[in-house]
Amino acid sequence: MTSDEPFSLNLPAYFERIGFTGATSATLSTLTALHRAHASSIPFENLDVLLRRQIRLDLPSLETKLVSARRGGYCFEQNGLFSAVLERLGFVVTRLVARVHLGTQRINPRTHMLMLVETDAGPHIADVGFGGWGILEPIPFVADKDFKRGAWTFRMEERAENSWMLMCLECPLGIDLYAFTLAPQLPVDYEPANHYTATHPDSRFVQTLTAQLPSLECRVLLRNRELVTVTADGIESVLLPEDRDVIAALKRLFGLSLPVDAEFLARI
C-alpha cells in the first residue's frame, strides 16, 4: 500500500472484536446494532497515557490497538475507528468536537470527539467513546425530547444558537455531559486536542487511571483504586487496596491485560 492509497480496514476482524453478526447495510438498524456492540465491548481506558506511550490516531494504529491487540482507548481512538468503519459501510458521517461538562465546573477545552450520522430515519448523534456515561445507542438529533436507552435517559438541548448539550438525566455527576456545535472536523483537527489530552499535566487522563464500560443496564467505572458499579437500583463503590486487585479488575471486568511495564500502579 502506498501513502496515497486508503487504508483497508479489516472489517471481519472488527466485527469479531465487538461480537457483531448482523446486516451491514447503511441503515439506522445497522448503526444501532454496531454502536451498541462497540460501546459495550471495547472499554474506555487510558493505560497508554499513564505509561507515557504515544497515542496515535492513524487508522492502522487504531486497528492494531483496538482490534488486533484487543485493547481499549479514549474518544479520539474509539470514535476515530468507528467513524471509519461507518464510512466503509456507506454511512455519511460528520465528525464533531465537544467541550466536556461532566464532573467539572471549569471551562474545559474542546477535547471530545463525536459524530453526526445520516440514516434512513434522519440524522443521529453517535458516540462510542465517552466511557461509562456515554450513549449505548445513537440518539436522534432532536431537541428537548427524552430517549430511553436501557436504564438511562438522554436528552439534547439547544443552549445557544448552534450550540447543543447532550444530557444524561440519571448521571450522579451532573446531567450535562458535553456541549458541541455542528462545525465539521477533519481527522487532523483532533491531533492538537489528542496531544493535550495525552500529555498536558492538567489533563484528567494524565492524572488518573480509568477504565469504563457501559451496558444498557449497568455501568462499570474504575477510577484509580475505586471501582464503581451503577445500575437503576443505585451505586456500589469498592476500594481496591492492592495492585493485584486493580490488575484483576482490569482483566475480569474490562478484558484488559496490564502491560508488564505498568509501573504507574504504585502511584495511584
| Cα–Cα nearest to 53, from 68, 44, 43, 65 | 65
Concerning whether 218 is annotated as a catalytic residue, the answer is no
Q: Which of 38, 127, 171, 176 is catalytic?
A: 127
The DSSP secondary structure of 86-111, one letter per residue, reads: HHHTT-EEEEEEEEE-TT-SS---EE
Q: Which of 35, 38, 101, 112 is catalytic?
A: 112
Concerning whether 112 is annotated as a catalytic residue, the answer is yes
Cα angle, residue 80 at apex, residues 150 and 34 outer, rounded to 5°: 35
As a whole number of angstroms, the distance between CA 109 and CA 118 comes to: 27
As a whole number of angstroms, the distance between CA 191 and CA 189 comes to: 6
Give the amino acid at 16: E
For the chain, the first-to-last Cα distance in angstroms comes to: 43
Q: Which of 75, 124, 168, 176 is catalytic?
A: 75
Concerning whether 38 is annotated as a catalytic residue, the answer is no
Distances in Å between the Cα of 87 and the Cα atoms of 25, 47, 125 are 11, 28, 15
Active site residues: 75, 112, 127
